[in-house]
Amino acid sequence: MSLKGKDYLSIHDLSVDEIHQILDLAKSLKDKQKRGEEHKLLPGKTLGMIFQKSSTRTRVSFEVGMWQLGGRALFLNANDLQIGRGEPVKDTARVLSRYVDGVMIRTFSHLEVEELAGYASIPIINGLTDLLHPCQAMADIFTAVEYKGDLKGRKLAYIGDGNNMVNSLLHVCAKVGMDISAATPPNYAPDAAIVEEAIADAAASGSKINIVNDPFAAAEGADVLYTDVWASMGREAEQAIRKQAFAGFQINSAIVRTAKPDCIVMHCLPAHRGEEITDDVMEGPHSVVFDEAENRLHVQKAIMALLMG
């Protein structure tokens, strides 16, 4: 099944075969880069990058990735576009479809990304919304495969906020057959509709989905420990309240000891060291955080090449 011309909005939209197409191509492209081999799969292609949320990893990885694929990327700050002054999304979608070969958008509303995709005639890539972060989750699962091989029967424990990150991790784990246990405070659970989608996919893949309020219960026997900031971008005003609510929902040495002895620790970054993760764990032997960050580049190149090639 070909991904050419399709959108990449949610991992839930992908078949298991399509997920493995992305992972396999990402590995091939990473190997080529390590050997210094060119891999210009998108010569002459242009990616428009709309940013309503600022970023380090998303901007740099997509921009460098397009250059390495032989194309180019255009940074489009939403405040500099007419969309930032009230132009309808559907108009922007149809205009950009005449200029560029694909669009990556990093924004707040997931509905806005869906509307953009609905009116565009080119592939739309979800670089992040308040609901989902599918590029990061695909890079995470790629990293887990690098370290753990076949993920069926493996366990990922997510500890922290029930945000866009855990929503996409639920999607991808359920698709590939990896167990996932998410521990959040009672009022910060993952999106209920996403959990239902994951449970449905898990029935086919054989993975187990578990939503709990005890971080130690989630971490028990885990192959992968994962966390994210307690207050995602746009929720900074809730920082003080969340700091109190999330006390105890931290990946620290005690949590690491609860997981498997050879567990790996992930964080999508940026990290607030001393809050959701301790500095000693972040810098310790279990951490693969910077390999994970690097893999954004390789996985996103694979996504762009498959959609826009």
Would the annotation count 134 as a binding residue? yes
The DSSP code for 272 is: -
Would the annotation count 68 as a binding residue? no
Residues 235 and 242: beta-carbon distance below 8 Å = yes
CATH topology of domain 136-292: Rossmann fold (3.40.50)
pTM of the model: 0.97
What span, in angstroms and rounded, lies between the C-alpha atoms of 154 and 149?
9
**How confident is the model at residue 238, as a pLDDT?**
86
Would the annotation count 268 as a binding residue? yes
266-277 confidence digits (pLDDT tens): 999 999 999 999
What span, in angstroms and rounded, lies between the C-alpha atoms of 53 and 39?
30
pLDDT at residue 72 greater than cutoff 90: yes
Band the pLDDT of 236: cuts 50, 70, 90: confident
**How confident is the model at residue 84, as a pLDDT?**
66
Residues constituting the chain = 309
180-226 confidence digits (pLDDT tens): 999 999 999 999 999 999 999 999 999 999 999 999 999 999 999 99
162-191 confidence digits (pLDDT tens): 999 999 999 999 999 999 999 999 999 999
Sheet holding 209-212, edge to edge: 209-212, 179-183, 155-159, 224-227, 264-267
Half-sphere exposure of 229 (CA within 13 A, CB side): 14
What are the extents of the domains in the chain? Answer: 16-133+296-308, 136-292
**CATH topology identical between 16-133+296-308 and 136-292:** yes
What span, in angstroms and rounded, lies between the C-alpha atoms of 247 and 75?
38
Would the annotation count 33 as a binding residue? no
Mean pLDDT of 22-45: 98
Q: Which of 220, 213, 202, 204 is nearest to 156 (CA)?
A: 220
Would the annotation count 136 as a binding residue? yes
**How confident is the model at residue 79, as a pLDDT?**
83
pLDDT at residue 284 greater than cutoff 90: yes
Active site residues: 106, 133, 136, 228, 268, 296
Q: CATH number of the domain at 16-133+296-308, please?
A: 3.40.50.1370
